């Protein structure tokens, strides 16, 4: 990303900031990247229809397929391309930062028939003042720095927390504390379509500690406490959920090893892109939390200064009470990745990746996905 001091925008920003910022210098940065993907996919039970989320990137729970459809498909997309804008202002020794980022993933408002036009969506939109951050960004419960270098949009989706949401976060040294947006997902008694509560007044609370060793290894330990709440269709029930996440990025010579392990009760949407719900209703309409755990390990090897490969294994398991959930709920999800990436110049990466994923429901029904992905990425 290149720095640019834009006098007109700076003047407008300073008017908003007020007289205290009038003598300050504001730095503007534009960034992002362009990424084009070609994905050859083989679904064991028939491919989902064109435009389905599973055809954009690997999402646990979306690969069971559509019987009657062909099993092998190819998708071309540039939807992961993104754009961001950042301002940084020094206010008499206080640091004020604003950041917003957009991409084009997950939307179904475009199509592959005519123009492939998809709406932008907000990834990040926050402001920071010294130790405080307010707005939408990565959940404090997850560590994006530990994610493997995969071509798939998430990579290791089964074994990692992956949430962006609005929050209020305080950082002091290696410690972080946050109040974050609450949302509960519940399985009906006996099974059925997911219930999203849409209610709840108690924010999710997250505490995290970041630390590193003299050898350059970086670690995080995070804990979450949340109220599971459902007030809908005559049901009024609450219970507590909690979880722990540990991540590490460990140098191994010129290579590195990335690790993540997560476990808890009532984690729901925080893990594996909501592959399992946070709780299930019993016969009395009370929420019973669902235990789950997952993790991944990824080893990145540098063949030389331009060629590298990552080898990744990821998994998740939910401990369902079948008497309450029924047998059609998700139970286990696993995936593996191997890739070869080449950067002829620093801003550009060309690569190929093979991934295999298997999802299993409580009753033993399975879905498998084999995918070969080619990508070209240019960092702006």
pLDDT in tens, 165-179: 999 999 999 999 999
- What's the pLDDT tens digit per position in 360-370? 999 999 999 99
pLDDT reported for residue 238: 96
What is the model's pLDDT at position 24?
A: 67
Q: For residues 279 and 289, what is the distance between their CA atoms, to the nearest angstrom? A: 4
Strand partners, 185: 196
The 10 Å Cβ neighbour count of residue 49 is: 11
**Residue-wise pLDDT tens digits, 132-168:** 999 999 999 999 999 999 999 999 999 999 999 999 9
- Of 278, 124, 303, the C-alpha closest to 194 is 278
User: For residue 349, what are its two tokens?
Assistant: 């990466």
Residue range 186-201: mean pLDDT, rounded: 93
Asked if the model's pLDDT at residue 15 lies above 50, the reply is no
Please check the confidence at residue 115 and state whether its pLDDT lies above 90: no
So what's the pLDDT on residue 71? 97
Q: Does residue 379 surpass a pLDDT of 50?
A: yes
272 vs 14: which has the higher pLDDT: 272
19 has pLDDT over 90: no
Find the largest Cα–Cα distance for the chain. 66
Query: Is the pLDDT higher at 3 or at 289?
Result: 289
* pLDDT at residue number 112: 83
Q: How many residues would you count in the chain?
A: 380
Instruction: Reply yes or no on whether the pLDDT at 120 is more than 90.
Output: yes
pLDDT above 90 (res 16): no
Higher-pLDDT residue of 3 and 242 is: 242
In 3D, which of 144, 151, 128, 145 has the Cα closest to residue 58? 151
CA-closest candidate to residue 41, choices 81, 85, 77: 77
Residue 70 phi/psi, 5-degree rounding, is -65, 150
**E strands within 190-234?**
195-196, 204-212, 218-232
Residue 1 has pLDDT above 70, yes or no: no
Q: What is the pLDDT of residues 272-330, one digit of tens each?
A: 999 999 999 999 999 999 999 999 999 999 999 999 999 999 999 999 999 999 999 99
237-270 pLDDT, tens digit each: 999 999 999 999 999 999 999 999 999 999 999 9
- What integer pLDDT is reported at residue 113 of this predicted model? 83
Does residue 269 contact residue 278 with C-beta atoms inside 8 Å?
A: yes
Q: What is the pLDDT of residues 76-90, one digit of tens each?
A: 999 999 999 999 999
Give the pLDDT band of residue 23 (cuts 50, 70, 90). Answer: very low
Residue 96 has a pLDDT of 97
The H or E element spanning position 99 is strand 94-103
The pTM score is: 0.90
């Amino acid at each position: 990303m290149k720095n640019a001091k834009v006098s007109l925008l700076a003047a407008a920003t300073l008017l908003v900031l007020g007289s205290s910022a009038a003598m300050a210098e504001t730095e503007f940065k534009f960034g992002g990247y362009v990424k084009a993907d070609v994905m050859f996919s083989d679904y064991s039970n028939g491919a989902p229809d064109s435009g389905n989320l599973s055809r954009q990137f690997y999402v646990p729970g979306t690969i069971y397929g559509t019987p009657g459809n062909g099993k092998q498909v190819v998708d071309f997309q540039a939807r992961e391309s993104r754009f961001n804008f950042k301002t940084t202002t020094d206010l008499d020794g206080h640091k004020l930062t604003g950041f917003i980022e957009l991409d084009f993933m997950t939307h179904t408002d475009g199509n592959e028939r005519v123009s492939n036009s998809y709406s932008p969506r907000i990834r990040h939109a926050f402001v920071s003042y010294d130790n405080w951050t307010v707005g939408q960004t990565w959940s404090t419960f997850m560590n994006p720095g530990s994610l493997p270098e995969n071509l798939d949009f998430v990579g290791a989706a089964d074994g990692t927390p992956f949430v962006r949401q609005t929050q209020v976060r305080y950082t002091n040294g290696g410690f972080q504390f946050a109040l974050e947006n609450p949302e509960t997902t519940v399985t009906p008694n006996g099974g059925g379509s997911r219930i999203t509560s849409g209610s709840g007044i108690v924010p999710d609370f997250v505490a995290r500690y970041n630390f590193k060793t003299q050898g350059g290894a970086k670690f995080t330990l995070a804990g979450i406490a949340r109220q599971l709440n459902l007030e809908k269709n005559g049901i009024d029930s609450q219970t507590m959920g909690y979880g722990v996440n540990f991540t590490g990025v460990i140098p191994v010579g010129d290579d590195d090893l990335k690790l993540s392990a997560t476990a808890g009760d009532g984690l729901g949407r925080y893990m594996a892109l909501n592959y399992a719900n946070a709780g299930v209703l019993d016969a009395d309409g009370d929420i019973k939390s669902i235990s789950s755990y997952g993790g991944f390990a990824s080893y990145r090897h540098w063949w030389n200064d331009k060629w590298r490969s990552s080898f990744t294994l990821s998994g998740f398991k939910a401990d369902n009470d079948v008497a309450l959930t029924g047998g059609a709920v998700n139970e286990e999800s696993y995936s593996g990745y191997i890739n070869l990436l080449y950067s002829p110049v620093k801003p550009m990466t060309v690569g190929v990746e093979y991934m295999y994923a298997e999802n299993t429901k409580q009753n033993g029904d399975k879905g498998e996905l084999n995918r070969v992905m080619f990508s070209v990425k240019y960092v702006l």
